[in-house]
Amino acid sequence: MLATLVVIPLAPWLIRQGRRVRRETPRLAEPAGERQGQAGSGPPLRLLITGDSAAAGVGVDDANEAFTGQLLRCLEDNFSVQWQRLAQSGLNCAELLVWLHLQQPQRFDTAVVSIGVNDVTGNTGRGRWQRNLVALCRLLEQRYGVSYIILTAVPPMDKFPALPQPLRWFLGGKARELNAVMAQVAKRNPVVRLLQFDMPFAEDYMAADGFHPSAAACSLWAGAAAKVISDSFSGESASEKV
């Protein structure tokens, strides 16, 4: 209630700041590279990386240094990974749902999802966010055959250097709100895991736009995701685990 009372008089200022950030923030491109392939040796693992611009690799110049490339390097010594990346810049959760419905589905064992930043900036409500997350997890399970879903937490946007105050404060609070809902969704579904990891928001960990993860940040993210996957499928093929 108190937060709402504070936000209402700030609303015109927040809107102006948001428009200025969109206008002035550099538009970084997704790095060139393959969107699917095979890597490593060992028990087979079918891996899907899906979501928004962070999942697409925006923020780094070399696809090998993006999240997907670094995750594959973390897994390739222990698994024969058949992987695909279905990600696109600018998507919120509702748009990702529609986009995935339009793709030709393959079967995967595990999926790593990056979504939520555009729901924060678009001010998606808690109820709609929860419904969309539940629907996304159901889609991944039923249409893509995923047996283990890793939802990456929305980053703490109050630490994004591209954002001025008080917009940074407001978006940081919104990110925490959506993460609380994401945690509830994960708690209620035994095949869903919320991935949270610590990251220093120093200059080296942010891309040139002050908004996307750098190669150093992707390394931390990939290492955290790889540990969850390895702990879940270690010692056996994913198909055997299913």
Q: Give 193-238 pLDDT, tens digit per residue.
A: 999 988 887 889 999 888 899 999 999 999 999 999 999 997 554 4
Span of 31-40, 108-117, 118-127, 226-235 with lowest mean pLDDT: 226-235
Contact 49, 86 (CB under 8 A): yes
CATH 3.30.365.10 given to domain 36-241: no
Is this model's pTM higher than 0.85 or not? yes
Q: 28-32, 54-58, 217-221, 226-230: lowest mean pLDDT where? A: 28-32
pLDDT in tens, 164-187: 788 888 899 999 999 999 999 999
Higher pLDDT, 240 or 147: 147
Helices 2-24 and 167-188, packing angle to 10 deg: 110
Residue 57 Ramachandran class (φ > 0 left, ψ -120 to 50 alpha, else beta): left
For residue 197, what pLDDT is reported?
Answer: 87
Which residues, 6 or more positions from 103, have their beta carbon under 8 angstroms from its beta carbon? 86
Domain locations along the chain: 36-241
